[in-house]
Structures are given as structure tokens and as C-alpha cells.
Amino acid sequence: MYMDDRSLTQNYGQSRRKHITRVASSTSGLHTLSLSKVASIPIPLPPLSAQKFIVDEIEKEFSIINAIEQLLDKNLKRAEKLRQSILKKAFEGKLVTQDPNDEPASLLLERIQAEKVQQEAKSKKRKATPKKKKSRKTAKTKQLEITDASNEEQAS
């Protein structure tokens, strides 16, 4: 029914190449072909039964591709619904079982608020107390003061 690829390439390729080389115009080693010359090149076609077989095979492959695309779309939609469902359950607190020993959220929020108030009070207290100015004496200045003090002791 079919010619194998090797014989098709050898038979078709070599004879067609020679034919194309014969009909092509050559200028400075560059071959050019006009549309009419290309149209005159015979192109062998497989028998009609082989052509139908090829078309059927391609259509089968396309139907498989379409089925895969539909399945992919369906699964993407399912994944998005699942994601939304998980988020909803998480925000409702239904994603995991609750430990009865856990502190209720209302108490936790009250404790956090109280800690925040304490932090703000400490911050205000720090701002209200004047800061002591630090001496910016350099090592050389300190050395001079020590030297001056020792000179005064010697002078007295």
C-alpha cells in the first residue's frame, strides 16, 4: 500500500532534484524558478485508498486531541471549584477539627488588643520622658581633660 520512507525519498528526491535543476534558470550559480516551472514539476500522490487512510488517521489523532482538550478544561474548572471550596471551609473554620482546649477567638482578640494598648502606653511614656544628652567627647578631648587635670594637680 505504501512506499517506505527510504525508497520514496530516494526515488522521488533524486529524480525531482535533477528535474528541478534542469528547469531552473541559473545566474551566477543562483538557481531561480518561475511559478510556471514549479507547476510543471510532477508530484506523485499515493493511491486514493492510501490518501483516505491517511486522512482517517489524522482525523483519529485530532479527535484524541479534542478529547484531551475537553478533559483538561473540565479538570481546570474542577480544580478552581475545589480551590474555592477549600478557601471557604478554611475561613469558616471547618477545614480542620477544632481542639476544645484552644482559646476562643474572641479571647485571643481581646488579649491582642490589651497587649497593643500596653505597647502604645510604653511608647508614649518613652516619648514623654526627656532623654539625657550624651556627651560627644572624643578620645582626644578626654585625653586633653586628663592631661589638664594632672597639670593642675602638679601646679598646686
pLDDT, mean of each 10-residue run, the chain (156 residues): 50 70 76 82 88 97 98 98 94 81 84 92 77 62 67 65
- The pLDDT of residue 105: 80
- The pLDDT of residue 49: 95
- The pLDDT of residue 23: 78
Cα-based torsion angle of the residue sequence 45, 51, 57, 61 in order, rounded to the nearest 10 degrees? 60
1, 50 contact by CB (below 8 A):
yes
**Domain locations along the chain:** 1-44, 45-96
pTM: 0.42
12, 19 contact by CB (below 8 A):
no
Which of the 8 DSSP states describes residue 23? H
23, 40 contact by CB (below 8 A):
yes
CA 82 – CA 91 distance, rounded (Å)? 14
